[in-house]
Amino acid sequence: MIHCKDEIGLIHAISNVLLLNKLNIIRNGEFVDEKKQEFFFRSEIEGDLDKNVVISNLKTALPEGAKIDLRKKRIKKIVVLGTKEHHCLGDLLIRNQYGTINAEIQGVICNHETLGNLAEKFEVPFVSISAKDLEREEHEKLIIEAINQFDFDYIVLAKYMRILTPTFVEKFSYRIINIHHSFLPSFIGANPYRQAFNRGVKLIGATAHFVTDDLDEGPIIYQDVIKVDHTFDPKAMSRAGKNVEREVLFQALELVFQDRVMVNGNKTIIF
Amino acid sequence: MIHCKDEIGLIHAISNVLLLNKLNIIRNGEFVDEKKQEFFFRSEIEGDLDKNVVISNLKTALPEGAKIDLRKKRIKKIVVLGTKEHHCLGDLLIRNQYGTINAEIQGVICNHETLGNLAEKFEVPFVSISAKDLEREEHEKLIIEAINQFDFDYIVLAKYMRILTPTFVEKFSYRIINIHHSFLPSFIGANPYRQAFNRGVKLIGATAHFVTDDLDEGPIIYQDVIKVDHTFDPKAMSRAGKNVEREVLFQALELVFQDRVMVNGNKTIIF
Amino acid sequence: MIHCKDEIGLIHAISNVLLLNKLNIIRNGEFVDEKKQEFFFRSEIEGDLDKNVVISNLKTALPEGAKIDLRKKRIKKIVVLGTKEHHCLGDLLIRNQYGTINAEIQGVICNHETLGNLAEKFEVPFVSISAKDLEREEHEKLIIEAINQFDFDYIVLAKYMRILTPTFVEKFSYRIINIHHSFLPSFIGANPYRQAFNRGVKLIGATAHFVTDDLDEGPIIYQDVIKVDHTFDPKAMSRAGKNVEREVLFQALELVFQDRVMVNGNKTIIF
Amino acid sequence: MIHCKDEIGLIHAISNVLLLNKLNIIRNGEFVDEKKQEFFFRSEIEGDLDKNVVISNLKTALPEGAKIDLRKKRIKKIVVLGTKEHHCLGDLLIRNQYGTINAEIQGVICNHETLGNLAEKFEVPFVSISAKDLEREEHEKLIIEAINQFDFDYIVLAKYMRILTPTFVEKFSYRIINIHHSFLPSFIGANPYRQAFNRGVKLIGATAHFVTDDLDEGPIIYQDVIKVDHTFDPKAMSRAGKNVEREVLFQALELVFQDRVMVNGNKTIIF
């Protein structure tokens, strides 16, 4: 993945480096942010390579300050944070078990004990850290300690119902993915289905996004909606919405774990 | 259509009245707002009837204060307000011409002259009232005068880009339908596609709603969305979104013009 | 649920019986098949009742030959048949565990051992009956014996990859629900994703239906699709399609297990 | 657009040619058909070029037999064939009028006079050629004569309800786009909504495809569906389906007219 100033000849320059290193391009994608005049590029390549040589060649070929991220295709390691709801976690555990997601769950950390039984069924380490009687910072410190026991690439908030502090978010910049149960930017914050019910919307949805300091304001990776009607109270919306949440989170994780997502300010580019 | 306090036996009471008046039920729908303990009912009936007798029978059979709205099935008369965009108006004009919407356009009123040519092609009266050099109230007064030339049931805002005053809205309570180019409550107000682009959403949409005093806050009738990606700038969003706007407005009008919509506070019930 | 010849006054007649028995109607639905002149009706009612009295009253009130099906609201008992694929079964097991489907899985029967481990995690009885070296009829006889160990309302074919004989189907008439991995009637039979790939379709889907003697020809309960493009080979289609299969099967089961489905010839009526 | 045998280094070879000719790449797309080992490529480029030089350079750089199709970005010229239904034609005429499709309608040819009035409103030449008392070949000969009066890139069958002979199809190979009112391959041939009704499907749809000799078997460009339920008779399906037909045809035309579609056997590749 490459991110640099836009100029003429970049694709040729890149493909030249790849050819010189005898690398085969499986799939390319590029995007130019016209306003910022920035170039985003992703290539899936195959072949033996000397990482240092390729990066060095690319640096020479590309404009000053180009960000080059050369990754080996591999299964990502993840830690999942949850609270009490099982639907997203259950889906991830089954996918983890059967290899139908490009990730391995290293551990599950919750602020309640409810989901311990589910994680254990799938022999995934489970840690429960109650927030009871703790200040937000104290609780988060314990969560961070628990997370750091594990070796991981990404943190997945699978309906983790607590707000993270900027300290936490900063530590794991663009490595935390959250599922929010509304089509953002509608219904930010608590009880989105209640908000949706009160507004009388005819669609409900879910949004998966990278977590940043601003609550529910991070770069959106994937969103989807389903239709509802006047017979749906908040409980029925929540029940129907859980399927969308689960699906949207999975679709976003697929993209991220296949290294198909680049961040451009508060937006994502999906290749 | 009936709206009253909920109690046991209402459906029986209503069907009893219909039977006594030798009316055949084609299709029934009912909904109880559990919280407010209110009953909403709609029946499509056929047969000869004495309107006064039926209403009087229903009044006797139903709780005190029941609202009874007995309508003959008929083609609605509408006035369309627009500005410069042709896609919603064009669709309505073609449907008007071929009878594929349950309405007859009495006239088209715009604050620009742009769409006059289109309305004239379909031989629909066109009035252009420029807002130039006029105070909002002055302009609206002229619009109301123009509207009142026509005999109509509903006013359709087919991308009418001006905000209506409470005075206007009050005059035509729940008889004005607007199409807003976002999935409300996201992106209220001006330039929703620009707002959507800035937020980096992966869905854009449209919402048709009854107009009330609060901008874009009226009861929602129909909404839909389409997917977009990082390659969509506001112009591309607008281009793609126009198809959704046109479709959402039509779907909402279908429902309203078939008398399938009841208003419940700031929500709609669709039978 | 009532199914009888159509005539004027049926809804009144039914609501009269319900009122006399002091039953409250929560929700009604009716449909008239105009061509066959048949009336379908479903009512959710609450209150204490003497089943025999109500049925007898309804029989008197309704045309000769009316089919009346008065069911107590309850959690359905089901047996799940599978082969090797885990995605539908896994979803049902988790829903079973957490009560997010209106059913209790009595047992899982497969023609391979693969899924035994998954069923056991959730402490659901698992029976594996290999079809190896057996005639179709022999194998099916063993399956039926295994099924009959359980007390159940419905059989769910959760990607059971064998064709059932008419004998089997007849035994459990309209009590078997299958998920087929295409939008029927396209791609009946084996390898629908391969067929879809070969045809170059831009949508793939899934269909849940009652099983009848004709392969993939039974009454459809629910269908849905997702978009695909030229980059999808049959394997990628299958991978993406599994989420739709799982969702479509669940949506169909929701409807059936909430007694919202009536069969009308080779079609379903969903209330 | 380039189509050739796949081998390593093609993208580099192409970008090299573009760079040498001082052409800027706006957007690239490539696809490898793994099974056939064929390479498909499309690039949007800008800059002054000598067409012969660029093609000659590309021929030298690419494998023997490479198909190179270098097109100037321009508005396509089209002829529309119809019968009696107005919804697709009406949409195209309005888009033609307002420039919201990348095409100019040169003429409309129908086998009935019905739509003449509509074409005339938009000042587009209209030819009506009745098939009455004519053999298929005779009628088609007259249609071809009428078509050939116009200078055009593509023929759009906007609900043209007659089957074209192989002679016709061959003359305009991959230049004829049809809209069929079902999600193919379901419901090929006549009366797809009737077929859909008889089968009891819960989705209806439309398919836009290039026309080949086999009826409704040509490469699919775009498809979409909407949900229906048991209350839809064939007429209601047709009414609801018209919106999908119109939308699907437009989406397919957008792709074709922007030169984003390549044909790969009986499939399309959409860049």
Q: pLDDT of D56-102, one tens digit each? A: 999 999 999 999 999 999 999 999 999 999 999 999 999 999 999 99
Handedness of CA C2, C4, C6, C8 (dihedral sign): negative
Is C230 in Cβ contact with D264 (below 8 Å)? Answer: yes
Interface-testing mutation among D32, D180, D202, with chain C (most C C-beta atoms within 10 A)? D202
Closest residue by Cα to residue B56 from B20, B11, B9: B20
Residue D17's identity, in one-letter code, is: V
- Asked if the Cβ–Cβ distance from D11 to A24 is below 8 Å, we say no
Residues facing residue A153 across a β-bridge = none
> The dihedral of CA D31, D37, D39, D40: what is its sign?
negative
Quick one: DSSP state of residue A119? Answer: H
The reported pLDDT for the residue numbered D9 is: 87
Judged on CB neighbours under 10 Å (0-12, 13-18, 19+), D3 is buried
For D10-59, write each residue's pLDDT tens digit. 998 998 999 899 998 888 899 999 999 999 999 999 999 999 999 999 99
Are residue A83 and residue A53 in the same domain, yes or no?
Answer: no
Give the pair of three-digit tokens for residue D265.
Answer: 């056997």
Closest residue in C to A27 (Cα) is: C231
- Asked if A25 and A87 sit in the same domain, the reply is no
Residue B98 has pLDDT above 90, yes or no: yes
The DSSP bridge partners found for residue D4 are: D39
> Which residue among B94, B97, B243 sits closest to D247, beta carbon to beta carbon?
B243
pLDDT for the residue B5: 98
pLDDT 10s digits, D168-222 = 999 999 999 999 999 999 999 999 999 999 999 999 999 999 999 887 899 999 9
**Mean pLDDT, rounded, for A16-24:** 92
Comparing CB atoms, the residue among D11, D25, D26 nearest residue A25 is D11
Q: Judge contact between B225 and B205, C-beta under 8 A.
A: yes
Cα–Cα separations (whole angstroms), residue A85 to A187, A193, A238, B238, C246: 19, 15, 11, 38, 19
Do A94 and C98 count as a contact with CB atoms less than 8 A apart?
A: no
Of A174-183, C6-15, C142-151, least confident by mean pLDDT is C6-15
Looking at the structure, tell me whether residues C163 and C235 fall in a common domain.
Answer: yes
- Return the DSSP state at D14: H
Q: Is D214 a catalytic residue?
A: no
Mark which of D68, D102, D122 sits at the end of a domain: D68
Q: Is the pLDDT of residue C214 over 90?
A: no
Q: How many CA atoms lie within 13 A of D214 on its CB side?
A: 9
Nearest-CA distance C19 → chain B (Å): 6
Residue B214 has pLDDT above 90, yes or no: no
A266 contact residues in B (CB cutoff 8 A): 199-200
Rounded to whole angstroms, the Cα distance separating C161 from C185 reads 18
Say if residue A210 is in the same domain as residue A120: yes
The tens digit of pLDDT for each residue in C88-105 reads 999 999 999 999 999 999
D35 Cβ contact partners less than 8 Å away, ≥ 6 residues apart: none
Q: Which residues of A are annotated as catalytic?
A: 216
Specify which residues A207 forms β-bridges with. Answer: A180, A223
Q: Would the CB atoms of D225 and C34 count as touching at under 8 Å?
A: no
For A200-252, give the secondary structure using H, E and C. Answer: CCCEEEEEEEECCCCCCCCCEEEEEEEECCCCCCHHHHHHHHHHHHHHHHHHH
Q: Which residue of C has its CA nearest to A248?
A: C243
Catalytic residues of C: 216
Q: What is the pTM of this model?
A: 0.97
- Say if residue B54 is in the same domain as residue B101: no
The predicted pLDDT at position C215 comes to 78
Distance of CA C70 to the CA centre of its chain: 19
Closest by CA position to A104, among listed A82, A79, A85: A79
Question: In which domain, by residue range, is A9 found?
Answer: 2-68
The yes-or-no verdict on residue D2 having pLDDT over 90 is yes
Interchain CB distance below 8 Å, A230 and B269 = yes
pLDDT over threshold 90, residue D105: yes
In which residue are the tokens 């999942």 written? A80
From A85, which residue of chain C is nearest by alpha-carbon distance? C98
> For residue D111, what pLDDT band results from cuts at 50, 70 and 90?
very high
Tell me how many domains chain A contains: 2
How many angstroms from the chain centroid is the CA of residue A179?
A: 9
Mean pLDDT within A161-166:
94
Claim to verify: residue D132 and residue D202 sit in the same structural domain: yes
- Residue D227 tokens read as 């949900």
Average pLDDT, chain A: 96
Mean confidence (pLDDT) of chain B: 96
pLDDT of residue B52: 97
Q: Which residue has the tokens 């760079």?
A: D19
Q: Return the structure tokens found at D23.
A: 């052409």
The reply to whether residue B15 touches residue C19, judged by beta carbons under 8 angstroms, is no
Bridge-partner residues for C177, per DSSP?
C156, C210
Query: CB of A46 within 8 A of CB of A26?
Result: yes
Backbone angles phi, psi at D232, to 5 degrees: -85, 115
Active centre residues of B (catalytic): 216
The rounded distance, in Å, linking the Cα atoms of B32 and B8 is 11
Q: How far apart are CA D41 and CA D68, in angstroms?
A: 10
Min Cα distance A32 → chain D (Å) is 8
Domain edge (last residue) among A68, A93, A112: A68
Determine, for residues D221 and C202 on separate chains, whether the beta-carbon distance falls below 8 Å.
yes
Do C157 and C206 lie in a common domain?
yes
Cross-chain Cβ contact C15/B12 below 8 Å = yes
Of C121, C242, C243, the CB nearest to A121: C121
The first and second tokens of residue C36, run together, are 């066959």
Largest CA distance in chain B: 63
What element of type H or E holds D127?
strand D126-128
CB atoms within 10 A of CB C62: 22
Task: Give A266 to chain C, closest Cα distance, Å.
Answer: 27
* d(C-alpha C62, C-alpha C68), whole Å: 10
Name the residue among A75, A80, A74 with its Cα closest to residue A179: A80
Position C41 scores a pLDDT of 97
Element containing residue B269 per DSSP (H, E): strand B267-270
Category of D22 on φ-ψ map: left (φ > 0), alpha (ψ -120 to 50) or beta? left
Q: What is the pLDDT of residues C142-177, one digit of tens each?
A: 999 999 999 999 999 999 999 999 999 999 999 999
3 state SS of A90? helix
Measured CA to CA, the distance from residue C16 to residue B11 in angstroms comes to 9
Q: Could you tell me which residues of chain D have a Cβ less than 8 Å from any Cβ in chain B?
A: 86-87, 90-91, 94, 97-98, 100, 118, 121-122, 239, 242-243, 247, 250
Cβ-defined contact of D242 to B94 (cutoff 8 Å): no
Distance CA B252, CA B270 (A): 10
Q: What integer pLDDT is reported at residue B154 of this predicted model?
A: 98
N-terminal to C-terminal alpha carbon distance within chain A: 10
Asked if C262 and C42 touch (Cβ cutoff 8 Å), the reply is yes
The alpha carbon of residue D88 is apart from the nearest alpha carbon of chain A, in Å, by 27
Q: What is the model's pLDDT at position B93?
A: 98
Is D266's CB within 8 Å of C183's CB? Answer: no
For residues B102 and B172, membership in a common domain is answered with yes
Please report the beta strands in A96-219, taking only residues with DSSP state E, as ranges in sequence order: 103-110, 126-128, 154-157, 176-180, 203-210
Does position B215 have pLDDT exceeding 90, yes or no? Answer: no
- For residues B98-122, average pLDDT: 98
Q: Are residues B214 and B255 in the same domain?
A: yes
Contact C101, C74 (CB under 8 A): no
pLDDT of residue A215: 78
Q: Token match 């023929």: residue? A: D155
More confident residue, C245 or C28: C245
Strand-pairing partners, residue D110, are D82, D128
Nearest to C94 among A90, A98, A247 (CB): A90
Q: Which residue of A has its CA nearest to D14?
A: A12
Q: Which of B86, B98, B239 lies at the smallest CB-CB distance from D94?
A: B86
Q: Which residue of C has its CA nearest to D261?
A: C230
Task: Take residue D8 and report the two structure tokens written for it.
Answer: 């390593």
One domain, residues D197 and D252:
yes
- Smallest Cβ–Cβ distance between D229 and the set C185, C264, C270 belongs to C270
Q: What count of other Cβ atoms lies within 10 Å of the Cβ of residue A231?
A: 11
pLDDT band at A214 (very low <50, low <70, confident <90, very high): confident
Amino acid (one-letter) located at B184: L
Residue D8, pLDDT above cutoff 90: no
Asked if D122 lies within 8 A of B121 by C-beta distance, the reply is yes
Cβ contact C94–A86 (<8 Å): yes
The whole-angstrom separation of Cα A182 and Cα A208 is 10
Last residue of some domain: C28, C50, C68?
A: C68
Residue environment code for B57-84, b if the CB has 16+ CB neighbours within 10 A, otherwise e: bbeebbeeebebeeeeeeebebbbbbbe
Give the number of A-C residue pairs with CB atoms closer than 8 Å: 32
Determine the residue among B243, B254, B260 to mutate to test chain D binding: the one whose Cβ has the most chain D Cβ atoms within 10 Å: B243
Residue D226 main-chain phi, psi, to 5 deg: -130, 160
Q: Which helix (H) or strand (E) holds A37?
A: none
Contacting chains of A (3 CB pairs or more, <8 Å) are B, C, D
Contact A12 D12 (CB under 8 A): yes
Q: Which helix (H) or strand (E) holds C98?
A: helix C87-98
Residue A81 pairs in a beta bridge with A109, A157
By DSSP bridging, strand C76-82 and strand C154-157 are parallel
Question: How many other CB atoms sit within 10 Å of the CB of residue B148?
Answer: 11
Do residues C94 and A86 touch, judged by C-beta distance below 8 A? yes
The CATH number assigned to the domain holding B53 equals 3.30.70.260
Alpha-carbon gap: A23 to the closest alpha carbon of chain D (Å): 8
Find, in chain C, the residue whose alpha carbon is nearest to that of A97.
C118
D139 band by pLDDT with thresholds 50, 70 and 90: very high
The count of C-alpha atoms lying within 13 angstroms of the C-alpha of D271, restricted to the half-sphere facing its C-beta, is: 25
Q: In whole angstroms, what separates CA D41 from the centre of its chain?
A: 19
Question: A167 to chain C, minimum CA–CA distance in Å?
Answer: 35
What is the average per-residue pLDDT within A101-126?
98
Check: CB of residue A173 under 8 Å from CB of residue A237. no
Asked if the model's pLDDT at residue C9 lies above 90, the reply is no
pLDDT at residue A24, rounded to an integer:
87
Report the amino acid identity of residue B206.
Answer: A
Q: Are residues C32 and C142 in the same domain?
A: no
Alpha-carbon distance of C10 to B266, in angstroms, equals 35
Q: With residue D227 as reference, give the H or E element that holds it.
A: strand D220-227
Residues A58-85 pLDDT 10s? 999 999 999 999 999 999 999 999 999 9
Question: Does one domain contain both B81 and B36?
Answer: no
Residue D114 corresponds to which tokens in the numbers above? 């019905």
> What's the CATH code of the domain at A183?
3.40.50.170
Pairing between β-strand A76-82 and β-strand A154-157 as defined by DSSP bridges: parallel
